[in-house]
Homo-oligomer: A and B are copies of this chain.
């Protein structure tokens, strides 16, 4: 793949509002334009929108409202990894030479239709994502003696990290006790183990190598891309202590970028529920299989912000179609040295992991400064 760069980003505060989806998405585009030198609407060849909302012609609507007349404009949807799917699609447009620049904007409202998995008949009446998470949790507890306290550490670590993220949905410190005693939603998942659906938008500008320096002195390069779809139905994932699509995606992304987990200075992992971060740390080789919970505790005890510095989905909130793009925005800021209180020192290589519906589909990106 011909080299492509991220040259600009925009973000909105994650919250719950009366604003329309269009309006939220425009806010992140406005913020992107305000943060970027030499950027004119005329420069933008591609506009891709990412959302789970039932909105026809959204990319055209957003283009018109932004004053952009792109060559290519369409929406991309793949539930919770819509964001990284649209971003990889943008990379393909730029890398192929069909465009020089591509604006990717994700957005979601709290009441997204993506929150209920009505199409998956293999789930029976258990259509809410919490049920697959509960099954993952049971399996991991059984096989690796993972405890409810272990899971709670993911939550307090990420909520703690979110306190330094001015765009995060949560603005409150939670103690271990708060998580352990938050409402039981299933036999092993409590309210504070869950990411929170919310309003939010994130935008990223992808650019060819030739044009990158026009917009920034320090482009961030997308050097690894891995994606894998196993199925739509949750029942196709046979081993509930690991995520098959994630393992394939990360292997491909590491291979393409010539990196391993040891090279990764900072990572955004898709912690839709506490158990996800533990499994993902193991599957992405940040630690041995079965050691994810221990790894999280060490991060928390040492105040290490390497994993989910913006607070992850649990701390920052989860506006479905925006999440993958917001993860990329965080890694861009980290590798640019602009992550302020969240900054992981000397971060040169970052990773984004974004997945859908019980890891039936995963995207992994490696970014480098």
Contact = CB atoms under 8 A, between A and B. Distances in A.
A228 interface: yes
A143 B58 CA distance: 33
Interface in A37-66: 47, 52, 54-61, 63-64
Nearest to A244: B69
Given A64-B231, A70-B229, A92-B92, A77 B98 contact: no
Contact of A2 (B61, B72, B96): B96
B96 A79 contact: no
A225 B357 CA distance: 35
Contact of A92 (B61, B96, B119, B233): B96
Contact of A360 (B56, B60, B114): B60
A360 B77 CA distance: 22
Interface string A84-124: 01101101110111100000000000000110010100000
Contact of A91 (B96, B113, B117, B229): B96
A361 B73 contact: yes
Contact of A227 (B71, B78, B252): B71
Interface residues of A, number: 56
Nearest to A116: B56
Nearest to A225: B98
A114 B55 CA distance: 9
A1 B76 contact: no
A299 interface: no
A253 to B, nearest CB: 11
B64 A232 contact: yes
Nearest to A102: B92
Nearest to A112: B56
A75 interface: yes
A361 B60 contact: yes
A128 interface: no
A75 B76 contact: yes
A79 B58 CA distance: 9
B85 A74 contact: yes
Contacts of A76: 74-76
A334 interface: no
A6 B225 CA distance: 25
Given A56-B52, A236-B64, A71 B230 contact: no
A75 B50 CA distance: 10
Interface string A217-246: 000000001111111110010000000000
A47 B229 contact: yes
Going nearest first, the 7 A-B pairs with the smallest beta carbon separation are: A95-B96, A60-B232, A74-B78, A54-B54, A92-B92, A74-B85, A96-B96
Interface of A: 1-2, 47, 52, 54-61, 63-64, 69-79, 82, 85-86, 88-89, 91-93, 95-98, 113-114, 117, 119, 225-233, 236, 252, 356-357, 360-361
9 contacts: A2-B97, A54-B54, A55-B119, A57-B78, A60-B231, A70-B229, A71-B226, A91-B98, A96-B96
